[in-house]
Amino acid sequence: MAGKLQAEAPDTHDQGRVTGEGAAGASVRDFLHRTFRALDATGPALRGLMAHAQRDPAFRRRLLGRFVEPRRAVLRGVLARARERGELPAGTDLDTAVAALYGALWYRLLLDEPLDAAYATALARLLGATGG
């Protein structure tokens, strides 16, 4: 399964690969929508990787370090920039927002429920994001 992590969860130092072009100025909604579109191709493999991570603590640590944590950091940056631009309420707890947004993503991903533009918009509104 370690080889599977290597193949399915590429090194995230290439942030363009993770988030698409222009993530630095992306609105929360646009970031989520791009992330959801990427999951059209990778979702089934990610479900398998996460399932395996529940049974293998060493694999879970690798998955967290190589895949989950780098993506959390990217989203946290998007949210921080949105907060600085006034698109999120000033008091937004970024770590909680990251957990809530990725929690919503994983919930739908694991249940094979739709991850689409409408859901991205709904999540951004729920968070209080006002950016385009």
The domains found in the chain, sorted by start residue, are 24-127 (1.10.357.10)
- Calpha distance 52→77 (Å, rounded): 29
Tens-digit pLDDT profile for residues 37-92: 999 999 999 999 999 999 999 999 999 999 999 999 999 999 999 999 888 889 99
Tens-digit pLDDT profile for residues 111-126: 999 999 999 999 999 9
| Both tokens assigned to 85 | 């631009």
Tens-digit pLDDT profile for residues 4-49: 554 444 443 343 344 444 444 568 999 999 999 999 999 999 999 9
CA neighbor of 70 nearest in space, from 102, 47, 38: 102
